[in-house]
A and B are shown apart, each in its own frame.
Chain A
């Protein structure tokens, strides 16, 4: 997965063509960390059809808030620089829900 920060967010996400998934996570977000192995597995499975990225919000707080993300875990799919779908909150962001989010936006 591509690690995002303020230097590459524009080029990797907003200026990308095709769908991009961003996993917004944080260093103190236990549900996010618990979910990480499953997200990596999904990135392997769908990586050739959708660009898979993650953003450490602890290190990139302003960037996350700029994307109107103030809660974790959050997964957003972008297409042509626009948000098309997002899910947020531990009980909403199950591995199945993340996989569905990917499949619906391929």
Chain B
């Protein structure tokens, strides 16, 4: 019979890497499966000053690289593959991978996180990679000495707007409310920045351009007035959606696809846990994701002790 893991963690962001670290330190056999890039969303967030201890090297990619190395150093197996489905009908759970492999495990921690949401306005999909972007670290370089619009008002939008001022000549934040949802310290930093303009109560209606972004149509939600705003790029940070399709019908979720889990990270299925942004929760941050991962790993260990003989 092939190897049965103690825990298989799906997703290599802060939640998954913390879970791997805690599981490996508890001497459990642990594997993390990541389909794209290690570090998740935090791996492409340049300005990351709110993770305790990261102030001297406050970049997401560096912090996530250290987390990955730490989990690996304690023995977590790191695998690049995509999870297609989970079979939880028996005590030993099976995970089907894109490569064709099947993994057997006593417990599963789902830490797949979330990805940026698209607004779905005209021009948005067509001009992707032509000036419409969801990743400031990836694409900021292109906009040196150009002007960009940032859509959104949460932490991600305002932090990335500040980051973009290091490249772009001018950054205009377009936000549908009359104040930011972002943390006050970040909001204040943005409002003091001379390169940043803010348009409150404004939503984008359409992005246009001939093969490349030339402008955006903006509507004031109070007056309904539509204005044409010339710009070279549009960065969208309008929220996220969970990555949980592979677990549909296995664990309980809300209508948006966020997984239901209790304070111990237990989902509706025994031996399956959810940690990080993919779970229903009020604060989606690197620090809360890492905490979730640790809690999930400890509870997975308790579950194995109770339910499996060694």
In this complex, the interface size class of chain A, counting residues with CB under 8 Å from chain B, is: 20 to 34
Nearest-Cβ distance from residue A21 to partner chain B, whole angstroms: 15
Tell me, yes or no, whether B16 is within 8 Å of chain A by CB: no
Q: Determine whether A89 belongs to the interface, using a CB cutoff of 8 Å to chain B.
A: yes
Contact (A90, B212) CB under 8 Å given A61-B142, A71-B130: no
CB atoms of A70 and B212 under 8 A apart: yes
Q: Residue B178 at the A interface, CB < 8 A? A: no
Given A70-B212, A70-B213, A94-B36, answer yes or no on A65-B129 (Cβ-Cβ < 8 Å): no
- Interfacial chain B residues near A34, Cβ < 8 Å: 36-38
The answer to whether A71 and B133 touch (CB under 8 A), given A89-B128, A91-B115, A94-B36, is yes
B129 touches A71 (CB 8 A): yes
B43: Cβ under 8 A from any A Cβ: yes
Report Cα–Cα, A95/B129, bound state, in Å.
18
Cβ-based interface call for A77 (8 A)? no
Task: Give A86-106 as 1s and 0s: 1 = Cβ < 8 Å from B's Cβ atoms.
Answer: 101111101010000000000
B142 close to A71 (CB less than 8 A): yes
CB–CB A71/B115 < 8 A: no
- Bound-state CA distance A91–B117 (Å) is 11
Q: Does A72 contact B (CB under 8 A)?
A: yes
Q: Which residues on the A side are within 8 Å of B141 (C-beta)?
A: 26, 28, 57-58, 61
Q: Is A30 an interface residue (CB 8 A)?
A: yes
Q: Report the minimum CB–CB distance from B123 to chain A (whole Å).
A: 14
Among A33, A70, A88, which residue has its beta carbon within 8 angstroms of that of B142?
A: A70
B135: chain A residues within 8 A (beta carbon): 29, 31, 71-72, 90
The answer to whether B129 touches A89 (Cβ under 8 A) is: yes
Which residues of B, 121-147, contact A by the 8 Å Cβ criterion? 128-135, 137-144
The reply to whether B115 and A70 contact each other, CB–CB distance below 8 Å, is no
A29 and B138 contact, CB distance less than 8 A: yes
Number of interface residues of B (CB under 8 A): 33
- The reply to whether B138 and A70 contact each other, CB–CB distance below 8 Å, is no
Give the most central of B35, B128, B129: most A CB within 10 Å.
Answer: B129
B211 located at the interface, meaning its Cβ lies under 8 Å from any Cβ of chain A in the complex: yes
Residues in B whose Cβ lies below 8 Å from that of A68: 130, 211-212
Q: A34-B37, A61-B142, A90-B36 are in contact. Are A28 and B137 (CB under 8 A)?
A: yes
B132 → chain A, closest Cβ, in Å? 7
Question: In the complex the two chains form, is A31's CB within 8 Å of B129's CB?
Answer: no
CB-CB under 8 A from B212, the residues of chain A are: 68, 70
Residues of B within 8 A of A86 (CB): 129
CB–CB A69/B130 < 8 A: yes
B44 close to chain A: CB less than 8 A: yes
Q: How far is the CA of A42 from the CA of B139 in the complex (A)?
A: 24
Complex CA gap A96/B135 in Å reads 21
**Are A29 and B137 in contact, with the CB atoms below 8 A?**
yes
- Chain B's closest residue to A74 (CB) is B129
Identify which of B98, B128, B140, B213 contacts A88 (C-beta below 8 A). Answer: B128
The residue of chain A having its C-beta at the shortest distance from the C-beta of B134 within the complex is A89
CB distance from A26 to the nearest CB of B (A): 6
Q: Is B61 part of the contact surface with A, judged by Cβ < 8 Å?
A: yes
Q: Is A55 close to B, CB under 8 A?
A: no
- Report the separation of the CA atoms of residues A34 and B34 in the bound assembly, to the nearest whole angstrom: 11
Most buried by B among A34, A61, A74, A94: A34
Structural contact, A72 and B138, CB atoms closer than 8 A: yes
Shortest C-beta distance, A60 to chain B (Å), equals 11
Which residues of chain B have a CB within 8 Å of any CB of chain A?
35-39, 43-44, 46, 61, 82, 98, 115, 128-135, 137-144, 211-213, 232-233
- List 11 contacting pairs A-B, 8 Å CB cutoff, sorted by A: A28-B138, A30-B137, A32-B138, A34-B36, A65-B142, A70-B130, A71-B130, A71-B131, A72-B139, A90-B134, A92-B128
Q: What are the 5 A-B residue pairs with the smallest beta carbon separation, nearest first?
A: A88-B129, A71-B129, A34-B37, A29-B138, A70-B142
